[in-house]
Structure formats: C-alpha cells, structure tokens
Structure 1
C-alpha cells in the first residue's frame, strides 16, 4: 500500500509579494527550497495562517538569499504581503517505509532567512 505523507515544509514564512499578473505558482527563495528539500515545479500546498486559505500550486525558484515568498497568478488573491504561510510538500511512499520517514521542517528567521 502507498500513502501520502508530509515530505517537507517551510513553517511560518512571510509573504513578500503577490503578483496577480503572472501565470501562476509560488516563487520561493532557493535557499529555503534547498533547506526544505524541495525542487522547482514540485507540487505544494500553501496554508495562509492569517486568513485560513489553503491552495495547491507549484514552486518556482526565487533568487537565492532574497527571502522571496511570492504568490503568483490567481494565488495572489489568497494572501497579501506580510501574511504568514506554511509551505508543504508531500510524498507518496510505501506504508512501512513511511513509518520510519522523518520530514524536513524549516523555520525561517526574520526576512525569510535561515
């Protein structure tokens, strides 16, 4: 049996931009992506702590060290600059292997830095 489990998350990052006039996705500082073991184009869930919105989208690499967390396209309507978000990725795994798996959790500091 295969199940979906938490693979990794960036816990309580702060939205730095919302760009409605973009195709879609979430732009994330590449340092945060690396720390959370996430890759470009990976499917993610974004949970907005301020308003309770939950969206599914995919990642785009943001400039390394910039602290960027930008909601793009329609997602830009689900959050605003300054909102706190949790960025989550999941993995499909064998049930027994999933029991031993430990997710990667990143806690950004001020400015979405490590």
Structure 2
C-alpha cells in the first residue's frame, strides 16, 4: 500500500512579494529549497498564518540567499507582503517505509535566512 506523508516544511517564512500578473506559482530562495528538500516544480501547500488561507501551487527557484518568498498569479490574492506562511510538501511512499520516514523541517529567521 502507498500512502501520502509529510515530506518537507519551511516553517514560518515571511512573504516578500505578491505578483498577481505572473504565471502562478511560489518563487522560493534556492537556499531555502535546498535546506528543506523541496525541488523546482514540486507541488506545495501554502498555509497563511495571518489569515488561515490554505492553497496549493508549485515551486519556482529564486535567487540563492535572497530570502525570496513570492506568491505569483492568483495565489497573490491569498497573501499580503509581510504575512507569515508555512510551506509544506508531501510524498508518496510504501506504508512500511513511511513508518520510519523523517520529514525535513527548517525554521528561517525573520528575513527568510537560514540560521
């Protein structure tokens, strides 16, 4: 049996941009992506701590070290610059393998930098 499990999380990142007139996605600092084990084009769930919105999109790689967390396209309507978001990805794996799986969780600072 295959099940979907929590794979990666960027916990409490600050939204730096919201670009409505752009092809939809979330642009993330490459360093945050690497540290959290999230790759470009991966589907992610965004949870907005400020307003309770929950939605899904895919990841675009941003400049390394920039601290970029930019919601693009229609997702830009679900956030305000400065909102705190949690970015989560999930993976599908064998039930037995999942019992031993350890997700990757990172906690960026208030400027979206790794500490």
**Which of the five TM-score ranges fits, normalised by the shorter chain?**
over 0.9
Please show how residues 31-110 of structure 1 align to structure 2 within 5 Å. Answer: 31-110=31-110
Q: Shift of residue 89 of structure 1?
A: 0.3
- What secondary structure does 2:99 align onto? helix
Once residues 30 and 23 of structure 1 are traced to their aligned partners in structure 2, the CA distance between those partners, rounded to angstroms, is: 19
User: Deviation at 1:110?
Assistant: 2.1
Structure 1: tracts of 5 or more residues without a match: none
Aligned-residue offset at 1:9? 0.5
Detail structure 1 runs of 4+ shifted over 6 Å in the superposition: none
Query: What corresponds to 1:22 in structure 2?
Result: 22
Query: Over the residues paired in the alignment, what is the CA RMSD in angstroms?
Result: 0.4
Once residues 8 and 105 of structure 2 are traced to their aligned partners in structure 1, the CA distance between those partners, rounded to angstroms, is 6
User: 1:11, CA displacement in angstroms?
Assistant: 0.2
Gaps (5+ residues) in structure 2? Answer: none
Task: Report the Cα distance in structure 1 between the residues aligned to 2:87 and 2:57, rounded to whole angstroms.
Answer: 10
Tell me, in whole angstroms, the C-alpha distance in 2 between the residues paired with 1:73 and 1:110: 24
What SS is found at the alignment partner of 1:32? helix
For normalisation by structure 1, the TM-score amounts to 0.99
TM-score, normalized by length of structure 2?
A: 0.98
Q: Aligned partners of 1:3, 1:92: CA distance in 2, in Å?
A: 5
